């Protein structure tokens, strides 16, 4: 009877050792797979960066003193490469500090792709037309924006060819 327990224990130990080896190979294999996948994804992201077209974002603003920083910040944080888009804030004759706030924000954060254009109050349509005239990107019609923004919206709009009003 003792010999039977000895052989059963030996069998359990061998099976455990084999499973330990199998588990080690599994973990090593998954690490190798993750490294290879990471390298492939890195190459894809580098190639994808070449395909981001230049975009222009127009933000028409009239007395937006309380919300303009949120709007501009969310556009700048959307995940699109900073060197691939420009933001044009058109102050449509605001009687508050809208354009001053945007200028201070631009100076404080040293943002090169942010323009501020001021005009007399002529309405949103004319503000958008003024913004379109300021485009430095001529081959694209830009994305026009007023309130509320979703994360990654510029990337999705760019690939889908949308204009956001």
| Radius of gyration from C-alpha coordinates of the chain | 28
pLDDT tens track for 41-52: 877 777 666 677
Write the CB contacts of 117 (distance below 8 Å, at least 6 apart in sequence): 88, 89, 90, 91, 130, 131, 134
The pTM for the full model equals 0.62
Task: Name the least confident of 17-21, 82-86, 102-106, 120-124.
Answer: 82-86
Residues 140-160: tens digit of each pLDDT: 444 555 555 544 556 555 544
- Distance (Å, whole) CA 70 – CA 21: 55
Residue 108: pLDDT band with limits 50, 70, 90: very high
66-91 mean pLDDT: 85
Among residues 148, 75, 147, the alpha carbon closest in space to that of 113 is found at: 75
- pLDDT at residue 117, as a whole number: 93
Longest dimension (CA), the chain: 102
Gap between the Cα atoms of 115 and 111, Å rounded = 9
Give me 1's structure tokens.
Answer: 């009877």
In the structure, what pLDDT confidence band is assigned to residue 53 with cuts at 50, 70 and 90? confident
Give the percent of the chain with pLDDT over 90.
23
Provide the mean pLDDT of the chain: 80
Q: 55-160 has which CATH code?
A: 3.90.550.10
């Amino acid at each position: 009877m003792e010999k039977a327990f000895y052989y059963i224990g030996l069998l359990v130990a061998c099976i455990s050792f084999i499973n330990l080896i199998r588990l080690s190979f599994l973990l090593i294999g998954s690490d190798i797979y993750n490294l290879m996948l990471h390298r492939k994804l890195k190459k894809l992201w580098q190639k994808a960066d070449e395909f981001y077209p230049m975009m222009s974002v127009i933000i028409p603003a009239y007395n937006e003193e309380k919300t303009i920083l949120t709007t501009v910040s969310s556009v700048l944080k959307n995940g699109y490469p900073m060197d691939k888009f420009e933001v044009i804030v058109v102050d449509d004759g605001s009687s508050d500090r809208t354009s001053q706030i945007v200028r201070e924000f631009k100076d404080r954060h040293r943002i090169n792709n942010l323009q501020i254009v001021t005009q007399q109050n002529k309405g949103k349509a004319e503000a958008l037309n003024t913004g379109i005239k300021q485009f430095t990107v001529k081959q694209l019609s830009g994305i026009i924006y007023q309130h509320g923004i979703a994360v990654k919206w510029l990337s999705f709009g760019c690939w889908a060819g949308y204009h956001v009003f």
